[in-house]
């Protein structure tokens, strides 16, 4: 496995979690602005956290079907580097967000079967990055962070018009297999490095990043 795999630790909520992610070598840290999530932050909570992230680590704002007012509020207060769209945003909306806010956009696409793959192609033409995640169950209240995997063989060896990242049920125990099977150069984890919903565990973060880069 290549040592240059880049890791995103998502759903960070405190200084200790950020320090653990940065010390272990994370390339991205993610802040969740979705009230239903156990990892949700207010804008006021996110400001000092964003300011504490050292240069060279990308700060990602996760939002779900946001309107412009919410994005205005986040981007005017929090030092964000990337907007992660985790809802039902169309390619037109993705392109509109890119134009309006002047920031790279990472679009999440949920995958359960081969019928979901065309959406990756369509979104990959307008987004700066794709995040390929497990599609949530129909009754799920959260669009991600559910600890579910999908059949990685569906995307093995595939390429899209922009860089991409793998998410969905990844842990220190399975991330090396996921990288080997899909060929991904980037992975995202949230619930897989927690001791309880929304509570990041420094040892699990370190173990996950070590396994991804091993």
Percent of the chain with pLDDT over 90: 88
Token pair in block for residue 192: 């897989």
Per the domain annotation, does 127 fall within a domain? yes
Per the domain annotation, does 151 fall within a domain? yes
Residues with catalytic annotation? 10, 133
Per the domain annotation, does 43 fall within a domain? yes
Determine the structural domain holding residue 172 and report its residue range: 6-213
Give yes or no for residue 209 having a pLDDT over 80: yes
Distance CA 189, CA 187 (A): 7
Q: What is the pLDDT of residue 1?
A: 38
Q: What is the pLDDT of residue 67?
A: 98
Instruction: Supply the mean pLDDT for the chain.
Output: 93
Q: What is the pLDDT of residue 158?
A: 87
Tell me the pTM.
Answer: 0.93
Q: In terms of C-beta density within 10 A (0-12 exposed, 13-18 middle, 19 or more buried), how is residue 185 classed?
A: middle
Q: What is the pLDDT of residue 156?
A: 92
Cα-Cα end-to-end distance for the chain = 6
Which 3 state secondary structure label does DSSP give 137?
A: coil
Give yes or no for residue 9 having a pLDDT over 50: yes
pLDDT digits 0-9 by tens, 51-100? 999 999 999 999 999 999 999 999 999 999 999 999 999 999 999 999 99
Q: What is the pLDDT of residue 135?
A: 86
Per the domain annotation, does 141 fall within a domain? yes
Per the domain annotation, does 1 fall within a domain? no
The CA-based dihedral angle spanning residues 159, 160, 165, 167, taken in that order and rounded to the nearest 10 degrees = -90
Distance CA 167, CA 71 (A): 23
How many domains is the chain built from?
1
Please give the average per-residue pLDDT across 186-206, as a whole number. Answer: 96
CATH number at residue 42: 3.20.20.70
Q: In sequence order, which residues have a C-beta less than 8 Å from that of residue 122 and are 6 or more positions away?
A: 91
* Residue 128 φ then ψ, to 5°: -80, -30
Q: In sequence order, which residues have a C-beta less than 8 Å from that of residue 56 and are 6 or more positions away?
A: none
């Amino acid at each position: 496995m290549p040592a240059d795999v880049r890791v995103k630790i998502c759903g960070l909520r405190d200084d200790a979690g950020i320090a653990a992610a940065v010390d272990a070598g994370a390339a991205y840290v993610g802040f969740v602005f979705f009230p239903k999530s156990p990892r949700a932050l207010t804008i006021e909570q996110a400001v000092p956290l964003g300011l504490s992230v050292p240069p060279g680590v990308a700060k990602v704002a996760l939002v779900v079907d946001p309107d412009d007012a919410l994005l205005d509020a986040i981007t005017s207060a929090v030092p964000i580097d990337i907007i992660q769209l985790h809802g039902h945003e169309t390619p037109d909306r993705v392109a509109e967000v890119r134009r309006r806010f002047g920031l790279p956009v990472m679009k999440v696409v949920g995958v359960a079967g081969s019928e979901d793959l065309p959406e990756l192609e369509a979104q990959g033409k307008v987004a700066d990055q794709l995040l390929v995640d497990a599609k949530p169950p129909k009754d799920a209240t959260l669009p991600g962070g559910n600890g579910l995997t999908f059949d990685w063989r569906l995307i093995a060896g595939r390429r899209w018009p922009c860089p991409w990242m793998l998410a969905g049920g990844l842990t220190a125990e399975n991330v090396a297999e996921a990288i080997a099977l899909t060929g991904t150069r980037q992975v995202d984890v949230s619930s897989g490095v927690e001791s309880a919903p929304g509570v990041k565990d420094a040892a699990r973060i370190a173990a996950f990043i070590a396994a991804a880069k091993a």
